[in-house]
Amino acid sequence: MNFERQRNRMVDRLLERESLDEATERALRAVPRHEFVPASKHESAYRDTPLPIGEGQTISAPHMVAIMVDLLELSPGDRVLEIGTGCGYHAAVTAEVVGPENVYSVEYHGNLAERARKTLAETGYGAVSIRAGDGREGWPEHAPYDRAYLTCAASDFPRTVVEQVRPGGILLGPLGDRSQVLVKARKRDDGTLDRERHGRVRFVPLK
């Protein structure tokens, strides 16, 4: 099976529907999504759909990862906090843009964190930092962050995570309980958030 060809076809199809930044496009073409899903799901790895990865969690559909990476307005060297490592794919795509050493990810499930750490190392993203713990607490040791995003739904951005983002930084995530909306927020100098809504989404809840 030619995974590289499938990956490029997936990105080509996304570009027919979405206007993506060049850095996002390059990242999607570079990261081997099939390595981040269970072997039984390899044939489905480059379909634009979520896939189960264990512990009741999923890997997000490629179009959603692309949209979120674009909305974060990432630049090389940005320090990024991810809440919800999952299988590590989203972190790898982010790392392609900012550099693996600038990505810090928190995962609630210890076994998923360990598996993601292993996969990231095997695929060339071993400098991504992963911690098993409560994502609501963020990762204060490496703050302040230029960007922070949630890969799981919360009723609002966790207060502690907001505090760990620098003024002028961006937060992004699916907010809401039964009905979720992808919200992008820029942090003002006074600590409040200037919010934008970017459509309805459906994510697993933040643990």
Extended beta strands in the chain, E state: 51-54, 57-59, 80-83, 103-107, 129-132, 145-150, 165-175, 180-187, 193-201
Sheet holding 103-107, edge to edge: 129-132, 103-107, 80-83, 145-150, 165-175, 180-187, 193-201
Query: Hunting for tokens 């697993």 — which residue is that?
Result: 204
Active site residue 75: no
* Catalytic residue from among 40, 60, 155, 179: 60
Catalytic residues: 60
